[in-house]
Amino acid sequence: MSTPKSLQSSVAWLLLAALVAGCGGTPRPESQAARDKPPRSHRQTAQTGENTKKNTKATKSPKASQDTKKGPSGMFREPGAATPEPAAKAAEGPAGPRPKPRQRTSLADLLSGNPAAMTDVPEDLADPPDAVGRMVPNLPRMEIDESKVRAAGIRRLEGKHLTLYTDLPPGAEVDGLPGVFDLAFPQWCDYLVVEPSEHADWRLTGVLMKTMKDKARFEQAGLMPADLPAFPHGYARNFEFWLYEQPSDYYRRHLLLHEGTHGFMNTLLGSCGPPWYMEGIAELLGTHLWKDGRLTLGYFPATRDEVPMWGRIKIVRDAYDRFAGARLDDIVHYSGSAHRSNDPYGWCWAAAAFLDRHPRYQQRFRQLPQHVAQRGFSNRFLRMMADDWDQLCEEWELYVARLEYGYDIPREAIDFRPGQPLAEGGATVSVAADRGWQSSGVRLEKGKSYRLSASGRYQVADRPKPWPCEPGGVSIRYWEGRPLGILLGAVRPDEYRVDRPSPLLRPIVIGLGTTLVPQESGTLYLRINDSPGELADNAGTLSVRVEPESP
């Protein structure tokens, strides 16, 4: 079977692009105002009547920060369409007009015919020797004259798997970096499927410079090869990497682990893969939790305070708010020069984190390291996801639209169970309070009238004590403009189209009860209104009765 020309050109560009001059991304602080005051809770207190009373005991932990309004159909703008002015967008509000979404690329557009039966890309698209993310062959390690290093006033820090040269003054955070690196090694081995006992003597050399102005000093000491390209933050090549000092201890470690991931993959796997995977995995494994001397790679930050200057969620949120979100096919086709700007780092992290943590896609995504040095890598990924591509794109859209710190990807995973025709006497369905969108298993018909009524008590928080809730919601706390815990519903059409926003982005309020007349036939989906980052402390279920109304 032949490969479509559009895909051939995209893959060829990925494979033939020149090496990126640096990586790691630019640190992204929150605004000064956001850092000077506590994060605005996504659970906004009502501002009228008795709800204005101070109630510190009723405050759920603000794990999600700086919530912003997000239009349900404004994730992506049409090619060539002007970006709306922020003031105008705010005036319109969430229910205001939105640009027509750009046609989403379906898997059928990417792979012609039967994707599952597609063979590897033709030989003329095989990886060239200098493909992006591939180790430069036969490049020796740096030969370092330690006497020159000492004469230049550069310190040497030693670990089992890292020798680090730096001009930064002594301090616990800097001097502890080789130890952090050593703790990362077994986790890299585990994730990237490398036997650690076979590479016990594996070691990289790192260079950490105070400022770019100090570059000449390191060149004279023999620590900066003459053929090293310019880079703004970090750069990795084979068994060495180079970093400039960063504005926070966290981001310095993040960049060290990011470049260390590149070095690990290049030297032990023979390649880092195409740009989307190369930077996605480096961002995924560079994003970490460092607490009480313990390191956890692949960590999804619960709050922005855990990751000062990291800013990946901010990148995605800001792009979504200006109608410039990236689809998965956009990310998979990033060129070799894409990461000369900062935003692709945020999108690659978001994609890797989503695929790595989602219960339906995780196993397939974690098979990719064994193929990273093979040709047709991105094609292989697309084929692996072929059966679920449309659903994957829909869940990605929902994820991007509501992304926040602590986003619980497993609990937000959607069970795309098609509904069955509603029995004449109606049906009663159960909705879990600690999950995102759930299929009711009931199919509703276009134009017919249905009565939905809900009952039950469930928990929507557990601190300082359990918060009881009913389907009408908790009126003293709000999430996205609706009472916390209130029952929501949406009808997902039988013939779902990938070229329009998911109906799950535009739910209706059911509360204790409502009458619903679907505009299209499809499956009824239900959930309670809550932050994607705060589902874990919910508990219990509610019952929803669905009955046809007499004409």
CA–CA separation, 81 and 178 (whole Å): 48
Say if 21 falls within a structural domain. Answer: yes
Say if 80 falls within a structural domain. Answer: no
CA–CA separation, 202 and 186 (whole Å): 11
Q: What is the CATH number of the domain that holds 180?
A: 3.40.30
Say if 42 falls within a structural domain. Answer: no
Does 344 lie in the same domain as 452? no
- Are 279 and 345 a contacting pair, CB within 8 Å? yes
Structure tokens at 476: 């003293």
pLDDT for the residue numbered 381: 96
**Dihedral through CA 274, CA 275, CA 278, CA 283, nearest 10?**
-160
pLDDT digits (tens, 9 = 90+) for 306-321: 999 999 999 999 999 9
pLDDT for the residue numbered 264: 97
Residue 390 has pLDDT above 50, yes or no: yes
Q: How many domains does the chain have?
A: 3
Residue 118 has pLDDT above 60, yes or no: no
For residue 330, give the nearest of 309, 312, 314, 316 by alpha carbon: 316
Which of these three, 373, 395, 413, is where a domain ends? 413
Does 336 lie in the same domain as 303? yes
Say if 43 falls within a structural domain. Answer: no
HEC states along 172-211? HHHHCHHHHHHHHHHHHHHHCCCCHHHHCCCCEEEEEECC
Does 122 lie in the same domain as 147? no
Say if 108 falls within a structural domain. Answer: yes
CA–CA separation, 227 and 435 (whole Å): 53
Does 490 lie in the same domain as 372? no
Q: What is the CATH number of the domain that holds 487?
A: 2.60.120.430
Which of these three, 371, 396, 413, is where a domain ends? 413
Residue 329 CA neighbour count, 13 Å, CB half = 22
Residue 544 CA neighbour count, 13 Å, CB half = 32
Does 539 lie in the same domain as 513? yes
CA–CA separation, 181 and 253 (whole Å): 9
Using pLDDT thresholds of 50, 70 and 90, give the confidence band for residue 499. Answer: confident
For residue 24, give the nearest of 353, 372, 339, 350 by alpha carbon: 339
Does 452 lie in the same domain as 382? no
Residue type, 293: G
Average pLDDT over residues 34-60: 34
pLDDT for the residue numbered 139: 74
- Per DSSP, the three-state class of 324 is strand
Using pLDDT thresholds of 50, 70 and 90, give the confidence band for residue 134. Answer: low
Does 290 lie in the same domain as 266? no
Say if 59 falls within a structural domain. Answer: no
Say if 55 falls within a structural domain. Answer: no
Residue type, 386: A
Which of these three, 375, 398, 413, is where a domain ends? 413
Does 398 lie in the same domain as 287? yes
Structure tokens at 50: 């008795």
For the chain, give the longest Cα–Cα distance: 92
Does 70 lie in the same domain as 145? no
Close Cβ partners of 97 (under 8 Å, ≥ 6 residues apart): none
pLDDT for the residue numbered 8: 36
- Are 128 and 16 a contacting pair, CB within 8 Å? yes
Residue type, 14: L
Average pLDDT over residues 4-13: 34
Say what the pTM is: 0.82
For residue 538, give the nearest of 430, 460, 438 by alpha carbon: 460
Domain that holds residue 292: 1-30+66-75+103-134+275-413
Percentage above 70 pLDDT, the chain: 76
pLDDT for the residue numbered 172: 97
Average pLDDT over residues 53-79: 37
Percentage above 90 pLDDT, the chain: 70
Say if 244 falls within a structural domain. Answer: yes
Does 323 lie in the same domain as 434? no
Does 493 lie in the same domain as 474? yes
Residue type, 381: F
pLDDT for the residue numbered 498: 76
Q: Note the residue count of the chain.
A: 551
Does 204 lie in the same domain as 255? yes
- Can you list the positions of beta strands (E) in 109-158? 155-158
The mean of the pLDDT values for the chain is 81
